[in-house]
Amino acid sequence: MAKEAGVSRATVSRVMNGLPTVDPELAERVRVAAAALGYEPDGTAQSLALGRTGVVGIIVPDLGNPVFQAVLRGLSSAAGERDYRVLIADSHEQAEEEPILAREIRRRSDGLVLCAPRMPDEVLRQVAAARTPVVLLNRRLDGLDVPTVSVDHAHGMRAIAAHLAGLGHRQVAYLSGPANSAANRVRLETLRAAGTGRFDLHRVAGGAHFEDGHAAVEHLLATGATAVVGYNDLVAYGALARMAELGISVPEEVSVTGFDDIPFARYANPPLTTVAIPLDELGRQAWNRLWSHLAGEEPSPDVQFTPEVVIRHSTGPAPIRR
């Protein structure tokens, strides 16, 4: 190709690698010659030459969860604007898999986003200490020197507690999430503290999926609760489905709330009261901080989003029980 374009091999290499140090006229001659010869650059060779892969990775606990799908959409859209692609790994809620996946992804990418990691604090510190740039998403860890994008789960849960107490509920059940989820711990602890003096809180084991909420309803009803707070919208949605099967009227007999405001929460029957989080924006903000690292710039300050309660038809006044 160098002979065809009448330039040196070094010039061809610089043009094919997208370097801006070539005279525009020479660069155009190289591109014309490449088109005429049907030449397509070798992406692997380009990556080696530039020291970049053009890929960033993200590890999520469960790709089937619409929350993580929305975060991924925001991340991949923003990364695409810089001609980057996103490599996705699903840990399937297995905390022990996350460090292994992180090690494998780092071999194939320029940076890594850890989304709601389940691994213990000490393991997370070790993973974050590696040389590859890391951004922590939807989890905060004091003293960890990596850019962090998070959600104020406590604020959202305090708002849910105030909403239910204001409706007169004095017996509330929390359908808990995965035991190793930091968000679950914060939500449970906050709800317990916010309910003190206002309602009794009953914790019922659950999970993160629709079927977990569906399977827990009989246990929820046994507590005598007039309101149920789901760890997330999926378990709340599962609880709604099971209550409908049992002929339990929501919210006339039991109120139900979720957390996250996934896209179909508003289409539940009845539409689900929940806590809204800007999921796409979480992904975009994670990319912005990762890109700053890749570009050698100072990352933007950590950001924590304040969620808001969205009141729909799944919550209502506590029923009068004699």
CA distances from 110 to 47, 162, 178, 180, 212 (A): 10, 44, 30, 28, 37
Q: 216, 202 in Cβ contact below 8 A? A: no
Q: Can you give the pLDDT at residue 50? A: 47
Q: Indicate the pTM of the whole model.
A: 0.82
Q: Can you give the pLDDT at residue 51? A: 59
Q: Can you give the pLDDT at residue 215? A: 98
Q: Can you give the pLDDT at residue 49? A: 47
Q: Can you give the pLDDT at residue 196? A: 97
Number of C-beta neighbours around residue 120 at 10 A: 12
Q: Can you give the pLDDT at residue 52? A: 77
Q: How far is it, in rounded angstroms, from Cα 164 to Cα 143?
A: 35
Q: How far is it, in rounded angstroms, from Cα 268 to Cα 250?
A: 11
Q: How far is it, in rounded angstroms, from Cα 173 to Cα 66?
A: 24
Q: Can you give the pLDDT at residue 40? A: 59
Q: 219, 204 in Cβ contact below 8 A? A: yes
Q: Can you give the pLDDT at residue 48? A: 43
- Which residues in the chain show pLDDT less than 50? 43-50
Tokens of 247: 């002929």
Q: 172, 235 in Cβ contact below 8 A? A: no
Q: 288, 78 in Cβ contact below 8 A? A: yes
Cα radius of gyration rounded to whole Å, the chain? 25
